[in-house]
Amino acid sequence: MFQKSNLRYLVEFIIIITGVFLSFYLDDLRQLNDKKTYKDTLIEELIVSAKEDLGQLDNIVSDLDKVQIYISQILLDIADNSQNLNDAEIAEKYLFITQKMSVSFFPQNGIFNQLISTGSIELIDNSELRRTLLSIFTHYYDRNSANNRTLDDLYLAFGKDIDPFISVMPVDKNDASFIYGDKDVGTYSIDREFYLSNKFKAYLLTASSMTDKNIDMLNIFQESYSKVIELGSEELQ
């Protein structure tokens, strides 16, 4: 009788313990599913922001390509003292160069920060997607920030050393739709002697070199964002 009673208690104990562990397991499973659902929501938002950033990058790179063209045209004009460009043409090209060469790219990092702070990034199955995100928002982000500071310094140097001799006052275009919209030339004054000087040429060469480096950096972002969109879409399937 005693043994049967003990056996009954043992069975009841096992049933209770099993029920408790099963409850914990199901609760953990539910929480994991909730976390994965939240992770998928963040991935969807990440794809949207990546597409927006990619559009911004396309606009900036397109402008920087035009900056390089205008720098080359001015350098060619002063190289052999041909001076085929008139003052209005110089003013237009110089304004575009100075306004566009230092335009900065600022990645949207809010969604990535949420992935990190909530631990959701660890739930991403695709390891290549995780590596790409970490590269964009750590290594590339830091390099881009340093590059932006250098470009800001160059812009200020142009204003200090070049603008007193080649002065162009911009006016806003009425149809400017892009955040870094083009400017129209207002009043301008071109010092032809300075225009042909080695100092002006040196500044243009520096601007060209830094623009090249900036384009290379932005191309890396473009490739990375395209990969994020592709891999993120696969993650959601």
Q: What are the tens digits of pLDDT across the range 67-104?
A: 999 999 999 999 877 789 999 999 999 999 999 999 99
Closest CA to 232 of 81, 75, 73, 115: 115
Mean pLDDT of the chain: 87
Q: Model's pTM, two decimal places? A: 0.80
Per-residue confidence (pLDDT) for residue 151, from 0 to 100: 93
Q: Minimal CA–CA distance to 144: which of 108, 106, 101, 103?
A: 106
pLDDT, residue 82, reads 72
Query: CB neighbours of 187 closer than 8 A, spacing ≥ 6?
Result: 168, 169
Residue 79's closest CA among 198, 206, 166? 198
Could you tell me which residue, 174 or 202, shows the higher pLDDT? 202
Is residue 180 over pLDDT 80? no
Cα separation, 117 vs 128, whole angstroms: 20
| Lowest-confidence region among 39-48, 89-98, 156-165, 178-187 | 178-187
* Structural domain boundaries in the chain: 2-236
Tokens describing residue 145: 């920030």
Cα 70 to chain centroid distance, Å, stands at 25
Return phi, psi of residue 188, to 5°.
Answer: -155, 160
From 200, 204, 224, select the one nearest 212 (Cα to Cα).
Answer: 204
Given this model, what pLDDT does residue 23 score?
62
Q: Which of 29-38, 96-105, 139-148, 211-220 has the lowest mean pLDDT?
A: 29-38
Residue range 180-201: average pLDDT? 88
pLDDT at 14: 74
Q: Residue 30's pLDDT is what?
A: 62
Q: How confident is the model at residue 54 (pLDDT cuts 50, 70, 90)?
A: very high
Supply the pLDDT for residue 144: 93
With a cut of 80, say whether residue 160 has pLDDT above it.
yes
Residue 48 backbone zone (phi > 0: left; psi -120 to 50: alpha; other: beta): alpha
CB atoms within 10 A of CB 166: 22
What is the per-residue pLDDT for 20?
65
Q: Which residue has the tokens 């995780």?
A: 130
Extract the runs of DSSP E, i.e. beta strands, from 163-232.
166-172, 183-190
Q: How far apart are CA 130 and CA 149, in angstroms?
A: 28
Q: Is the pLDDT of residue 32 over 60?
A: no
User: 190 - beta bridge partners?
Assistant: 166
Residue 5: band (very low, low, confident or very high) from pLDDT cuts 50, 70, 90: low
172 beta partners = 183
> How far apart (Å, rounded) are the C-alpha atoms in residues 114 and 64?
32
